Structure 1
């Protein structure tokens, strides 16, 4: 199973010019937004990735 560091490294490798610091910030921003939506009682969908609900 891929963890956070694996996913961040995948972003760095697939997006030209993106640093590890930038990829980490983007990754964290996406999952922070999903977390906030779930805390607010909403679901979250990321096309091509998955749906999240509590």
Structure 2
């Protein structure tokens, strides 16, 4: 299976060889999906909130 997926970092994430990275990626993608699809949050608004938070 590793060879089919390319044997690199992407394969490691998809095969859950590093659970912390795989979990963080899954949570990040799920949160992004939830914000944009369920809450109907706008991408520009998200960028503005991130820039305000980072700018402080």
Q: Do Structure 1 and Structure 2 share a fold, with TM-score over 0.5? A: no
Higher strand share: 1
Q: Which has the higher contact order (CA 8 A, sep 6+)?
A: 1
Which bracket does the TM-score occupy, shorter chain normalised? Answer: 0.3 to 0.5
Larger Rg: 2
Higher helix share: 2
